[in-house]
C-alpha cells in the first residue's frame, strides 16, 4: 500500500511539473493564460491512499494591456 501512495505522489508531481513547464514555454505567447494543477487527497477505505490530480485549470483574469494590430480582420 505504501508503494502506491508514493507512486501517486510522484505522478501528481510529474503532472505539476508538466503544467509549470508549459507555463514557462508559453509565457511570451500572445493571449497565453497560465495554468494551475489542482490536487485532491485519495482515501481507500480506512487507510490513506495518496494524492491525485483532479484537474488543470486556467487563469482567465484579465491582465495586461490590449494592443491593436491595425489589421481589419483581427478582432479588436
pLDDT of amino acid 1: 64
pTM listed for this prediction: 0.69
pLDDT of amino acid 17: 95
Mean pLDDT in consecutive groups of 10 residues from the start of the chain, 76 residues: 83 93 88 89 76 89 74 78
3-class SS of residue 42: strand
The pairing of beta strand 47-58 with beta strand 35-44: antiparallel
pLDDT of amino acid 49: 80
Residue count of the chain: 76
- Distance from C-alpha of 3 to C-alpha of 6, rounded to nearest angstrom: 5
Nearest to 17 by CA among 38, 37, 42, 39: 37
Residue 32: partners with Cβ closer than 8 Å, 6 or more residues away: 26
Amino acid at each position: 500500500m505504501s508503494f502506491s501512495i508514493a507512486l501517486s505522489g510522484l505522478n501528481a508531481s510529474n503532472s505539476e511539473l508538466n503544467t509549470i513547464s508549459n507555463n514557462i514555454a508559453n509565457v511570451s505567447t500572445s493571449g497565453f493564460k497560465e495554468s494551475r494543477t489542482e490536487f485532491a487527497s485519495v482515501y481507500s477505505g480506512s487507510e490513506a491512499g495518496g494524492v491525485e490530480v483532479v484537474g488543470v485549470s486556467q487563469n482567465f483574469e484579465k491582465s495586461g494591456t490590449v494592443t491593436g494590430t491595425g489589421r481589419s480582420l483581427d478582432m479588436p
